[in-house]
């Protein structure tokens, strides 16, 4: 069983956010150019108030029902993105609550978006840039066709690179995603987690998805 995180403090989260911004600057980017999304999968809803006090405005959840429940319990406090494996039947549940679904990568998801989505909905396409077998995401070669068939606006791309011994090992994957986005005129690049966000930022990330780096005291 995964251990939930309890007892977070706004001052510690605020300090961690500042350390992340310093690392963004050290990677050659202006902090204002990079959105810091706080992944709250392991954070109970009762702890979200501390995030708001720390100045967090953008959060992401991996599970559809949890996202809806947390968003409903904290109305207006945060902007929500869905960042988990997408079950297409959950698309209509998510759409009223999220800014972006970041993990669109299947024909069934496109079908649900066609039925339930509209011009005000926005999505990111998940791309399996490393070609890992059995991993979510469309292959890079399929992106152009997928974009043509997506019935709602696509604002960018998202990827989760392979597990690696070093953050630097993921640089080619982040670069590949950036080049794909540039080729198709897409502005948002959601890439980089607690382990490798500085490398992702240096390769053009506009959204980084951070959990433990922000939620553990002095973690960043």
Three-state SS annotation for the chain: CCCCCCCCCHHHHHHHHHHHHHHHHHCCCCHHHCEEEEECCCCCHHHHHHHHHCCCCEEEECCHHHHHHHHHHCCCCCEEEECCCCCHHHHHHHCCCCCEEEEECCHHHHHHHHHHCCCCCEEEEEECCCCCCCCCCECHHHHHHHHHHCCCCEEEEECCCCCCCCHHHHHHHHHHHHHHHHHCCCCEEECCCCCCHHHHHHCCCCEEEECHHHHCCCCC
Check pLDDT > 80 for residue 218: no
The domain total for the chain is 1
- Residue 2: what pLDDT? 62
Confidence class for position 12, pLDDT limits 50, 70, 90: very high
- Residue 220: what pLDDT? 55
- Residue 48: what pLDDT? 97
User: Up-side HSE of residue 45: CA atoms within 13 Å toward CB?
Assistant: 12
**Is there a domain that residue 217 lies in?**
no
Confidence class for position 97, pLDDT limits 50, 70, 90: very high
Check pLDDT > 80 for residue 127: yes
**Is there a domain that residue 118 lies in?**
yes
- Residue 212: what pLDDT? 86
Span of 94-108, 159-173, 194-208 with lowest mean pLDDT:
159-173
Check pLDDT > 60 for residue 139: yes
**Is there a domain that residue 154 lies in?**
yes
Check pLDDT > 60 for residue 219: no
**pTM given for the model:** 0.96
Average pLDDT over residues 73-80: 97
The answer to whether the beta carbons of residues 47 and 70 sit under 8 Å apart is: no
Give CA angle at 89 (102, 190), nearest 5°: 5
**Is there a domain that residue 108 lies in?**
yes
CATH code, domain with 16 = 3.20.20.10
Q: How far apart are CA 213 and CA 195, in angstroms?
A: 8
Cα 196 to the center of its chain, rounded Å: 14
Check pLDDT > 60 for residue 194: yes
**Is there a domain that residue 66 lies in?**
yes
- Residue 164: what pLDDT? 87
Ramachandran sector of residue 70 (left: φ over 0; alpha: ψ -120 to 50; beta: rest): alpha
**Is there a domain that residue 220 lies in?**
no
Q: Taking all residues of the chain, what is their mean pLDDT, rounded to a whole number?
A: 95
**Is there a domain that residue 2 lies in?**
no
The answer to whether the beta carbons of residues 194 and 210 sit under 8 Å apart is: yes
**Is there a domain that residue 129 lies in?**
yes
- Residue 125: what pLDDT? 98
Give CA angle at 170 (167, 172), nearest 5°: 140
Domain that includes residue 176, residue range:
10-211
């Amino acid at each position: 069983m995964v251990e939930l995180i309890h007892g977070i403090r706004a001052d510690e989260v605020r300090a961690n956010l500042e350390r992340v911004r310093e690392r963004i600057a050290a990677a050659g980017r202006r902090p204002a150019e990079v959105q810091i999304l706080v992944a709250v999968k392991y954070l109970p809803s009762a702890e979200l108030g501390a995030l708001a006090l720390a100045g967090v405005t953008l959060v992401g959840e991996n599970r559809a029902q949890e996202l809806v429940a947390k968003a409903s319990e904290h109305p207006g406090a945060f902007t929500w993105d869905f960042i988990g494996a997408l079950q297409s039947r959950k698309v209509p549940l998510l759409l009223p609550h999220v800014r972006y679904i970041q993990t669109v990568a299947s024909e069934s998801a496109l079908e649900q978006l066609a039925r339930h989505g509209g011009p005000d909905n926005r999505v990111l396409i998940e791309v399996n840039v490393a070609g890992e077998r059995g991993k979510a995401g469309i292959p890079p070669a399929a992106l152009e066709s997928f974009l043509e068939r997506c019935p709602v606006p696509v604002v960018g791309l998202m990827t989760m690179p392979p597990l690696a011994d070093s953050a630097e090992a993921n640089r080619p994957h982040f670069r590949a995603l950036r080049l794909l986005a540039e080729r198709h005129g897409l502005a948002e690049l959601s890439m980089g987690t607690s382990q490798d966000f500085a490398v992702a930022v240096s390769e053009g990330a506009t959204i980084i998805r951070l959990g433990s780096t922000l939620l553990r005291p002095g973690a960043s």
